[in-house]
Amino acid sequence: MSSRLFSSVLDIATPGRFPRTQKWIWRRVYNLLSLFWKDGDWRFMNYGYVGDGAVFPLRPEDEKERAFIGLYQQAVDGLLVEGARVLEVGSGRGGGARYIARYFAPAAVTGLDYSPETVRRARTLNADTPTLTFEQGDAEKMPFADASFDIVVNIESSHCYGDVEAFAREVARVLKPGGWFTFADMRPKSQLSTLDSQLAAPGLECIASSNISANVVAALDSAEARKRERIGRAWFLKQFMAEFSGAKGSMLYKGLKGGSVVYVARRYRKTS
């Protein structure tokens, strides 16, 4: 029953099919998750990334989140974050923005999310990080002035947007010249060329692109036991939560492992 329900939701929410309905559905899904998933030690909602290179250092209290933090580490690795003004669009429960704020010494990090309940949850979970703030707003019409940020981060969020082209134009608008836009998300393999054109906003030059599906599957595998333990406490719609979280055997897990769904990471530079 829950698998069929998730399949129906996923079909309606496929990027580009029903843009307004898509945004409406995802906003309410994340509102509900924030209302009912109140775990104080669970700041991440992404699928994660396990790399092939050297292990990056983490404080002991952050080790349990290593797989999820990995998506943010690969997103900003090599960028000049120290002293920068950073915006994360689609910041969720705030774990990624908190990691950047605590480990890379930026001047300030702002998290923007469309879900009011998720913003409230993020503020509560991350109140210990003074350089970090969260605002509610639309990725397709951001409440920030032109050239406000040095770096824009967007992790596993764009598939929820009704108009990805509008989002890319907004990224180009709020970035300073020479600034960086670092992006990671999944798409059905058949939609990758569409994603290319959607993100090709004037002023954004694609510098690097990679398929990180195998790294994401490795992260899903590493987090499986902890995820299943938490899902086991959710008496309501356990199977729906398993599908949503990419647990082993779920539609999205099978798609990523089999190649019908591709997880990409990209970096763009603001040229003018």
Per-residue pLDDT tens for 15-25? 555 555 555 45
Q: What is the pTM of this model?
A: 0.86
Say how far apart CA 232 and CA 221 lie, in whole Å.
17
For the purposes of burial, counting CB atoms within 10 Å of the CB of 145, is it exposed (0-12), middle (13-18) or buried (19 or more)?
exposed
What residues contact 82, with CB distance under 8 A and at least 6 apart? Answer: 104, 105, 106
Per-residue pLDDT tens for 38-61? 555 567 878 999 998 778 999 999
Three-state SS at 175: strand
- Which domains, ranges and CATH numbers included, belong to the chain? 2-270 (3.40.50.150)
Tell me how long the chain is: 272
In order along its 272 residues, the chain shows pLDDT tens digits of 444 544 444 443 455 555 555 554 555 555 455 445 555 556 787 899 999 877 899 999 999 999 999 999 999 999 999 999 999 999 999 999 999 999 999 999 999 999 888 899 999 999 999 999 999 999 999 999 999 999 999 999 998 898 999 999 999 999 999 999 999 999 999 999 999 999 999 999 999 999 999 999 999 998 887 776 666 666 555 666 667 667 787 888 999 999 999 999 999 999 97
> Contact, 107 vs 132, CB < 8 A?
no
